[in-house]
Chains A and B, each alone.
Chain A
């Protein structure tokens, strides 16, 4: 089954303790992205990647790192999490079209609480 898989689905942790949210897709998509969703602010892009070893900042990259060493995986790293990073996080992937963009497929979300 074609899917985007995020882990963990839920995490409660403390300020300063490094964490990684994994994202994996089995559709051979070139493009992957991370979004965060906050009440009143909607969904905002954190980072995206157009292919292996190619990553770029979205609208709200501060406090996050990403890497794209393999096509299927795009982990989101919080080196020193803070309470303002408490949020619902989504990973997405899509093919890269020629001139017209392809649909993005979303994972089920990761609910992070930083105490």
Chain B
């Protein structure tokens, strides 16, 4: 099956700092989503981005499908950004399954 690797596995930032999270995948994909899992366990959908670039406030994402990677940028980080960030992909073409990466655990400190 498709492999999804995320880096770094852990990240500690001071409030106000910027960061880049990376997702590499081993095959072509039809769907790529970024999620934030908050401390209460909820999965928050950040971006649906099988290709191209999108921005939403302090967050932006870029997927270069031909090179099989995606980047999530967090600018001016806040303590509420803490949690685990997951990249998930589907390469089946039939919406049958998202394969999740192992996540990047982010802690933003004051």
Could you tell me which A residues sit within 8 Å of B by CB distance? 31, 33, 35, 42-43, 45, 48, 50, 56, 58-59, 88, 90, 92, 94, 96-97, 99-106, 108-109, 111
Contact = CB atoms under 8 A, between A and B. Distances in A.
Contact of B98 (A104, A109, A111): A104
A45 B42 contact: no
Contact of B95 (A58, A59, A90, A97): A97
Contacts of A96: 94-95
The secondary structure that dominates the B interface is loop
Interface residues of B, number: 24
B43 A106 contact: yes
Contact of B35 (A33, A59, A106): A106
A43 B98 CA distance: 9
B97 A48 contact: yes
B43 A109 contact: yes
A29 B97 CA distance: 15
A23 B64 CA distance: 34
Interface of B: 30-31, 33, 35, 41-43, 45, 48, 50, 86, 88, 90, 92-98, 100-103
Nearest to B29: A101
Given A100-B31, A102-B48, 6 more contacts: A31-B95, A42-B103, A101-B31, A104-B33, A104-B88, A106-B35
Given A58-B97, A104-B98, A88 B31 contact: no
24 contacts: A33-B98, A42-B101, A43-B100, A45-B98, A48-B97, A50-B94, A50-B96, A56-B96, A99-B30, A99-B93, A100-B30, A100-B50, A101-B30, A101-B50, A101-B92, A102-B31, A102-B48, A103-B31, A104-B45, A104-B88, A104-B98, A106-B35, A106-B43, A108-B41
